[in-house]
Amino acid sequence: MNEKDTAALRRFMKPDQERLKMFDLLNVYVMKETNDIYHVECRPFAFLERDEQVLFLNHFRKTLTGAFDHKLFELKFRPEAAEGRDAHARDILWTALQTEDAGAWADRMMRVTERILGDAPRDYDRVITFARGEFYKPVRRRDDEPDALEDEDGLEAFLFRFLLCTVSRTEQPPKTLVFDYVEKAFKPNLAADPAINLAAPEAGFLFPCLTDDGADVNHVLYAAGKANMPDWRFAEDVLDCEPKPTALQDRELFADIVQDVAGGALPASTLARVYDGIHQMIEEHEEPEPPMLDARDVERILADAGVDGATRERVEDAFRRAADDVHYELKAASVIPKCTGQSVKIKTKVAAITLSPQDLPHVRQVVHKGRRYLMIELEEDAVIEGIAVKAEELEF
């Protein structure tokens, strides 16, 4: 599953969509400190008021929004259930997906709720929400399948049935001053009902994963509350899944390996060639699985970029020191900045600069009379707050 797949699902998460239908909604209210269930409510989604439908659909879109390996993680189920569990999470979710009975579906979702409640109590109440629905995913017609069925837009489509789960915190509404039109008086608003923060879910998941060819029941899409801060207890104990490194962890690990091999800092132009080599590898990759970088790949890319000391032995030693495993593999897309937009960040005490990876060859760090300077080659005059900056001759 990737950004394209989640975007296709999010696009139709709106009321009155023919391609997407929501069937049932289950809300479980959990008390703080004790983790006791205070209230359970299961309703057909069609019975909700339209405004309430919009709130929940926006909530689900928010849960499925974010960059992969930063906030969204496609996780693989473990072969066996977590210790002490009587059933594997995949089996519970799969049987829930297959049942047509709303009561049976809710019973299985309550079993997932019990796993979520195994976490430490919070200092705020929580609401655990489950939903099930189906989505007709449009797929472009293939040239080798002229007889494939098409929808009214000239696209192929397959039926994707899914389960969604979100965990949201509650907040006490702020005390405000309101105006009473009837009594013509200003009064304090003393509402005591907790507000459910649907705009910032702290966890969630989608099962199964959506792919171009259909549904992948061997993986689940886990959504973290904050980027690069996944709750691996949730992934392991609730979903029986294997954790995976975040994109930030892989990028930091790659930086440690490169600096270890190079013996320290690199010129910006050399770093640009390293990024170009990895980007080319990604572009030429034809397998469905994302390209990974092992020690041999890193050795080849660094050597081609002109990094001194990029030998097999030195790269493997760097992998051992940084990852404690010479066979560790890095996700290629995680270790380089995005090639579109200004994704490269240069930070100094004086300023923070962002630029595109293609512009790195125009950046140099130079030493002049014992002082370090960041030099950026420009094609036109720099402008500060609308005022052009005069160029000065620098004598070396």
Distance CA 273, CA 226 (A): 32
Q: Which of 327, 326, 309 is nearest to 317 (CA)?
A: 326
Tell me the mean pLDDT in the region 274-303.
90
Q: Is residue 219 part of a domain?
A: yes
Long-range contacts of 267-273 (CB under 8 A, 24+ apart): 267/364, 267/365, 268/360, 268/361, 268/363, 268/364, 268/365, 269/360, 269/361, 269/364, 270/305, 270/306, 270/307, 271/305, 271/360, 272/357, 272/358, 272/360, 272/361, 273/304, 273/305, 273/306
Same domain, 286 and 199: no
Residue 345 has pLDDT above 50, yes or no: yes
| Cα dihedral across residues 276, 277, 281, 282: positive or negative | negative
State the pLDDT confidence band at 341, using cuts at 50, 70 and 90. Answer: low
Q: Which two tokens stand for residue 93?
A: 């979710």
| pLDDT score, position 146 | 43
Omega within 30 of 0 (cis) for the link into 337: no
Distance CA 22, CA 356 (A): 41
Q: Is residue 396 part of a domain?
A: no
Residue 72 has pLDDT above 80, yes or no: yes
Contacts of residue 359, Cβ cutoff 8 Å, sequence gap at least 6: 344
Same domain, 193 and 322: no
Distance CA 107, CA 40 (A): 11
* Domain final residue pick, 210, 242, 274: 242
Residue 149 has pLDDT above 80, yes or no: no
Q: Is residue 39 part of a domain?
A: yes
Tell me the mean pLDDT in the region 175-191.
84
Element (H, E) at 388: strand 387-388
Residue 213 has pLDDT above 90, yes or no: no
Same domain, 270 and 144: no
Q: Is residue 394 part of a domain?
A: no
- Angle formed at CA 96 by CA 90 and CA 98, multiple of 5 degrees: 105
Same domain, 115 and 228: yes
More confident residue, 259 or 355: 259
* Domain final residue pick, 207, 242, 277: 242
Same domain, 269 and 316: yes
Residue 58 has pLDDT above 90, yes or no: yes
Contacts of residue 123, Cβ cutoff 8 Å, sequence gap at least 6: 32, 33
Mean predicted lDDT score pLDDT of the chain: 86
pLDDT digits (tens, 9 = 90+) for 272-281: 889 899 999 9
Same domain, 196 and 153: yes
Same domain, 352 and 297: no
Inter-residue contact 74 to 232 (CB < 8 Å): no
Tell me the mean pLDDT in the region 343-370.
79
Inter-residue contact 389 to 381 (CB < 8 Å): yes
Phi (first) and psi of residue 237, to 5 degrees? -85, -30
Element (H, E) at 189: strand 185-189
Distance CA 87, CA 114 (A): 13
Q: Which of 114, 96, 116 is nearest to 105 (CA)?
A: 96
Q: Which two tokens stand for residue 60?
A: 């689900």
* Domain final residue pick, 242, 275, 306: 242
309: containing domain: 248-335
Same domain, 43 and 17: yes
Distance CA 377, CA 361 (A): 9
Residue 358 has pLDDT above 80, yes or no: no
Q: Is residue 201 part of a domain?
A: yes
Q: Is residue 14 part of a domain?
A: yes
Q: How many domains are there within the chain?
A: 3
One-letter-per-residue 3-state SS of 56-121: HHHHHHHHCCCCECCCEEEEEECCCCCCCCCCCHHHHHHHHHHCCCHHHHHHHHHHHHHHHCCCCC
Of the candidate ranges 152-156, 295-299, 331-335, the one whose mean pLDDT is the lowest: 152-156
Same domain, 63 and 183: yes
Same domain, 67 and 8: yes
C-beta atoms surrounding 243 within 10 Å: 14
Say if residue 218 is exposed, middle or buried (CB neighbours under 10 Å; 0-12, 13-18, 19+): exposed
β-bridge partners, 154? none
Distance CA 82, CA 89 (A): 9
State the pLDDT confidence band at 153, using cuts at 50, 70 and 90. Answer: low
Distance CA 18, CA 153 (A): 13
Q: Is residue 395 part of a domain?
A: no
Same domain, 286 and 375: no
Q: Is 24 helix (H, G, I), strand (E, B) or coil?
A: strand
pLDDT digits (tens, 9 = 90+) for 8-20: 889 989 888 888 9
Same domain, 174 and 307: no
Inter-residue contact 138 to 157 (CB < 8 Å): yes
**pTM for this structure?**
0.82
Q: Is residue 20 part of a domain?
A: yes
More confident residue, 12 or 146: 12
Tell me the mean pLDDT in the region 360-370.
81
